[in-house]
Copies of this chain bind each other. A is one copy, B any other.
Amino acid sequence: MALEITKAFIEEIEEAIERADAAYILSSLEDMYPADITTVLYELNTPQSKYVLDLLEPEVGSEILSGIDPEVRNNFLKSFTSEEIARYVNLMESDDAVDVLNEQKVQVREEVISLLDNEEKAADIIDLLHYEEDSAGGLMAKELVKVNLHWRVRQCIAEIRRQAETVEKVGGVYVVDDKDKLVGRLGLKALILAHDETPITELYDPDVISIESYKKDTEVVDVMQKYDLEAVPVVNAQGKLLGRITIDDVVDVIQEQAETTMQLMTGVTENTDE
C-alpha cells in the first residue's frame, strides 16, 4: 500500500540533511517508491531536495524528475548544471525527456542535448522536439516494440528481449511491413500462447487504430476513450510508425479538457491558478 508520510518523518530527513548524514537518508528512503520520494521532496526546500536527489541512484532520480509537477521541476532544475540535467535526461523515456527540455531556455536545451551519452536517445529527442507540444507527435514516446510482418514468434520474442531495457511498459507489439508502415498489432497474450515457429502473419490483428502525428492532443484523448485503448500508435501521413502514446501520458490532457469544458459552461475564461 501507499505510504503515509508524516511530519515527524520530514523533520528527521531535514535534520539528517543538516548534518549531511547520507547513510541515514538513504536507508530512510530505501523502501520507498519514486512517487513517494517525490512527495518527500515537495516538503523540502530547493537545496535540501537537490541534496537528496544527488544521493539517489540516477535511475530513481530520473523517474522522480519525470513524474514531478512541471512547474516545480522547472524551478528546481534552475539550480542544476547542464551536465547534471543531462545525466537524468539520458535515462528518461523520450517523451519525458522532451517535456523537460521544452521547459529549458534554448541555450540549456542545446547544451544538454550535446551532453547526452545515449546517441539513439539523443536522436529520438531531437526528432520529437519538432512536434507541437499539444499534438499527437508532442505526446508520443519513440520507445516501442515493433516487429516485421514476415517474422515468426521466435524473432518477435528476441526483439522484445532486445528492447526490454529501453521500453518500460511493452503492452503490445506493433507490426510493420518492410517500409516501416504500420500494418497491425499483436497483444502479448497472443504471443504468450503461440508457438515459437508460428508466423506473425497468422497471429497479428490488422485492425489497428492509429493517429497521425499532426492531430490535436484532444483528438488523441477522444480516440483512446472511444476505442478504449491503453496505447495508440502514432503514424505520419504515409502510415509510417513514428511512436506511441500511452494512456498515462494523456491523463493530464483529459483533466485539462474537463476543466475547459467546465470553464465554457460556467463562463469563466480567465486563467486560474491551481
Contact = CB atoms under 8 A, between A and B. Distances in A.
A16 interface: no
One complex includes copies of this chain to the number of 2
A83 to B, nearest CB: 27
B210 A189 contact: no
Interface in A243-260: 246-248, 251, 254-259
A227 B33 contact: yes
Nearest to A255: B258
A193 interface: yes
A160 B192 contact: yes
A2 B251 contact: no
Interface residues of A, number: 46
Find the residue from A189, A193, A255, A265 having the highest chain B CB count within 10 A. A189
Interface string A126-146: 000000000000000000000
Interface string A200-230: 0000000101110000000000010111101
Contacts of A268: 262, 266
Contacts of A123: none
A155 to B, nearest CB: 13
A53 interface: no
Contact of A258 (B193, B247, B254): B254
A29 interface: no
B223 A2 contact: yes
Interface string A83-114: 00000000000000000000000000000000
Given A2-B223, A192-B192, A193-B157, A228 B259 contact: no
B192 A157 contact: yes
A164 interface: yes
A256 B33 CA distance: 28
Contacts of A246: 230
Nearest to A157: B192
A189 B209 contact: no
11 contacts: A1-B210, A35-B228, A164-B189, A188-B192, A191-B192, A192-B192, A230-B230, A230-B246, A256-B258, A259-B259, A262-B268
| List of 5 A-B pairs having minimum Cβ-Cβ separation, nearest first | A258-B258, A262-B262, A188-B188, A255-B258, A170-B189
